[in-house]
Amino acid sequence: MTLKELKVGQEGTVVAIGEKGPIRRRIMDMGITPGANIKVIKVAPMGDPIEVNIRGYELSLRKDEASQIEIQ
């Protein structure tokens, strides 16, 4: 399952981050790393962006970034 598939209010634990390159680097620079707990706070009407809470911080992710984050 990916972060993109979570509904508002649901939580998950990051298992892995997909593809290599700039998207992976941007995700990891935001502090989203394997083992971190993440909660979906809000999703825009068209699904982009997705707002999440991780380690006490609120972040906005694009759909393509969220689809790279594998959660459990």
| Beta carbons of 47 and 55 less than 8 angstroms apart | no
The predicted pLDDT at position 46 comes to 78
37 backbone dihedrals φ, ψ, rounded to 5°: -85, 140
Class of the domain covering 3-71:
mainly beta
Q: List, for residues 6-64, the tens digit of each pLDDT value.
A: 999 999 999 998 878 888 888 888 888 899 999 999 998 877 889 999 988 999 998 88
Neighbours of 56 (CB within 10 A): 6
The predicted pLDDT at position 23 comes to 81
Rounded-to-integer distance, Cα 20 and Cα 58, Å: 24
pTM value surpassing 0.75:
yes
Buried b (16+ CB within 10 A) or exposed e, 25-50: eebeebebeeeeebebeebeeeeebb
Check whether 65 has a pLDDT greater than 90. Answer: no
